[in-house]
Amino acid sequence: QTVVTQEPSLTVSPGGTVTLTCASSTGAVTSGYYPNWFQQKPGQAPRALIYSTSNKHSWTPARFSGSLLGGKAALTLSGVQPEDEAEYYCLLYYGGSVVFGGGTKLTVL
């Protein structure tokens, strides 16, 4: 069973920068895993932020960026805003099927 691992929780100060990561139990994450990132706030459906590693949707704020970092997929928030407090999920592609990470609860404090 493939497992995708994210940090359970992170805390960042308003205006700061934070990087969330997404690791695969199968080894290093490459662009071929097409990492996607989602934001979910309480009581809401997830909202897509990043696809295929680093591509933004038309609605994705500029302060969000995606990359590969040290064998993991990464989501960086620069100039964090209070409204960025949420749960963040990554998703990786495994040749047909996909697997979500367990999520990172980001606190802005």
Question: Applying CB under 8 A, which residues contact another protein?
Answer: 1, 34, 36, 38, 40, 45-48, 51-52, 55, 57, 89, 91, 93, 95-103
Q: Which of 49, 59, 52 is nearest to 89 (CA)?
A: 49
Q: Which is nearer to another protein, 17 or 28 (CB)?
A: 28
Residues 6+ apart with CB under 8 A from 107: 9, 10, 11, 12, 85
Smallest gap from residue 86 Cβ to another protein (A)? 13
**The sheet that has 17-24: what strands, in order across it?**
4-6, 17-24, 72-78, 64-69
- Neighbouring-strand partners of residue 98: 93
- Cβ 72 to another protein, closest distance in Å? 17
Closer to another protein by CB, 48 or 69: give it.
48
**Closer residue to another protein in complex, CB, 69/93:** 93
